[in-house]
């Protein structure tokens, strides 16, 4: 059939028939196919390396998974994470409120705080607080006419655990302050203005109007911070707090089963991070993130498991 005939045929058919019979030929995505093939090959090699290489000593790793000192280390890691996160969130909120304050002094102080504690590496801050006694040997309160009312040797209370809490909480608070400040800034100024016009005082507006609305912008990055912090606590190994990593280290220092114990530690970190991610998902949903455009595979997966019963009030 010549091109001319085909053209005639098309004219014989009605326009609506043509519209109905049109076929879409998808674009050929060669790049995507090549990429997929490469990843599959890579995955084969990785899985084979893990499965075949005897140096991984999977059975040794399994035997240490619930070892008492590993469990104690895990407990300490979780305890540190929770305490530091709570302190950092409270401190960070205060710094953030100072940062949006009308007072130049408060604002400036908060700015310097964030600049300093985000700028100095966490490990250095940690070792600094641990060695505070080199700087200040004794902390005391002396009142005029009364004399010394309180005194304590720095080394007595700056235990490794306490220095870890102080150092990492101060450091983390710098990050939290920036997150919360961004959250506060994200609330339209009309909200506070309307509340002011209704006669609500500044502190009530912060507590009832601004901060609750800031939460939905604050929760996702805070979840990431909490996960980062969990991993950051492994730094406390340097000042001999027996966290998860320290416990593993003290075992493989004796037995030289380095790789299996690193697997144990990694598995536990991964497990906790996974649980935290699920918690973060529910928190985010609670604070009404209705934007589904940025949904990750993980969100979809959780949504499928959790079901759709709460959907109607979660996203409108």
Partner 1 sequence: MSEAQKLNRARFDVPETSMIFARGVRKSFGAIEVLKGVDVDVAEGSVTCIIGPSGSGKSTFLRCMNHLEKLSGGVILIDGNFVGYDLVGDRLIELKDKLVCQRRAEIGMLFQSFNLFSHMTVMENLIEAPVRVRKLPKAEAEADALTLLARVGLSDKAASYPRELSGGQQQRVAIARALAMKPKALLFDEPTSALDPELVGEVLNVMRDLAKSGMTMVVVTHEIAFAREIGDQLIFMDDGVVVEKGDPKEMIENPQSPRTREFLSRVL
Residue 103 lies near partner 1 (rule: CB under 8 A): no
Among 35, 108, 121, 188, binds partner 1 (CB under 8 A): 188
Which residue in 46, 112, 134, 194 binds partner 1 (CB under 8 A)?
Answer: 194
Does residue 186 belong to the site contacting partner 1 (CB under 8 A)?
Answer: no
Site for partner 1 in 280-299 (CB under 8 A): 288
Rounded to a whole number of angstroms, the minimum distance from the CB of residue 208 to partner 1 is: 7
Taking contact as CB under 8 A, which single stretch among the options 67-75, 85-93, 186-194, 249-257 is the one that binds partner 1?
Answer: 186-194
From the CB of 214, what's the least distance to partner 1, in Å?
A: 10
Query: Of the candidates 142, 191, 300, 310, which one interacts with partner 1 according to CB under 8 A?
Result: 191
CB of 182 to partner 1, least distance (A): 17
Query: Stretches 7-15, 76-84, 207-215, 273-281: which one binds partner 1 (CB under 8 A)?
Result: 207-215
Burial class (CB in 10 A: 0-12, 13-18, 19+), 170: buried
Asked if residue 174 lies in contact with residue 88, where contact means CB atoms within 8 angstroms, the answer is: no
Please report, as residue ranges, which positions from 113 to 142 form the binding site for partner 1 (by CB under 8 A): none
Enumerate residues 144-183 that contact partner 1 by CB under 8 A: none
Report, in this order, helix, strand and coil percent for the chain, each rounded to 5.
75, 5, 20
Return d(Cα 46, Cα 49) in angstroms, integer.
5
259 near partner 1, rule: CB under 8 A: no
Q: How far is the CB of 277 from partner 1 (least distance, A)?
A: 24
String of b and e for 203-241 (b: at least 16 CB within 10 Å)?
Answer: eebbeebbbebbbbbbbbbbbebbbebbebbbbbbebeb
- Residue 113, both tokens: 């705080």
Stretch that binds partner 1, among 31-39, 81-89, 172-180, 193-201 (CB under 8 A): 193-201
Using CB under 8 A, pick the residue from 200, 259, 273, 302 that binds partner 1: 200
Angle at 281 between CA 300 and CA 312, to 5 degrees: 65
Which residue of 202, 282, 298, 301 would you call a contact of partner 1, by CB under 8 A?
202
Distances (CA, A) of 54 to 57, 97, 169, 178, 255: 6, 55, 41, 47, 17
- Footprint of partner 1 on 7-66 (CB under 8 A): none
Interface with partner 1 (CB under 8 A), residue from 190, 254, 305, 307:
190
Told to check if 204 binds partner 1 by CB under 8 A, we report yes
Reduced to 3 states, what is the DSSP secondary structure of residue 242? coil
Look at the alpha carbons of 108, 113, 118, 119 in this order and tell me if their dihedral is positive or negative: positive
CB 85 within 8 A of CB 279: no
Q: Is 198 in the site for partner 1 (CB under 8 A)?
A: yes
Residue matched to tokens 């005029």: 144
Q: How many other CB atoms sit within 10 Å of the CB of residue 247?
A: 25
By the criterion CB under 8 A, which residues form the site for partner 1?
188, 190-191, 193-202, 204, 208-209, 212-213, 216, 288, 316
């Amino acid at each position: 059939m010549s091109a001319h005939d085909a053209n005639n045929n098309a004219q014989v058919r009605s326009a609506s028939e043509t519209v109905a019979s049109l076929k879409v030929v998808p674009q050929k995505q060669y790049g995507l196919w090549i990429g997929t093939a490469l990843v599959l090959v890579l995955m084969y090699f990785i899985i084979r390396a893990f499965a075949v290489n005897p140096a991984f000593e999977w059975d040794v790793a399994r035997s240490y998974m619930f070892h008492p000192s590993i469990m104690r280390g895990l407990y300490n890691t979780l305890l540190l994470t929770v305490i530091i996160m709570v302190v950092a969130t409270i401190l960070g909120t205060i710094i953030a409120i100072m940062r949006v304050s009308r007072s130049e002094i408060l604002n400036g102080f908060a700015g310097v705080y964030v600049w300093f504690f985000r700028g100095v590496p966490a490990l250095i801050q940690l070792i600094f607080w641990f060695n505070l006694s080199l700087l200040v040997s004794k902390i005391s309160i002396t009142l005029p006419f009364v004399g010394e009312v309180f005194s304590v040797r720095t080394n007595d209370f700056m235990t490794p655990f306490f220095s870890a809490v102080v150092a990492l909480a101060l450091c983390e608070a710098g990050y939290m302050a920036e997150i919360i400040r961004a959250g506060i800034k994200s609330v339209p100024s009309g909200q506070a203005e309307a509340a002011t016009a209704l006669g609500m005082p500044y502190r009530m507006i912060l507590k009832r109007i601004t901060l609750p609305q800031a939460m939905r912008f604050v929760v996702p990055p805070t979840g990431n911070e909490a996960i980062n912090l969990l991993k950051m606590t492994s730094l406390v190994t340097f000042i001999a707090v027996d966290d998860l990593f320290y416990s593993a280290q003290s075992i493989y220092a004796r037995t030289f089963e380095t790789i299996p114990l690193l697997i144990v530690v990694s598995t536990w970190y991964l497990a906790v991070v996974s649980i935290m991610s699920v918690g973060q998902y529910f928190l985010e949903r609670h604070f009404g993130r209705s934007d589904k455009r940025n949904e990750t595979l993980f969100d979809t997966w959780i949504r499928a498991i959790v079901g759709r019963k709460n959907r109607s009030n979660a996203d409108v």
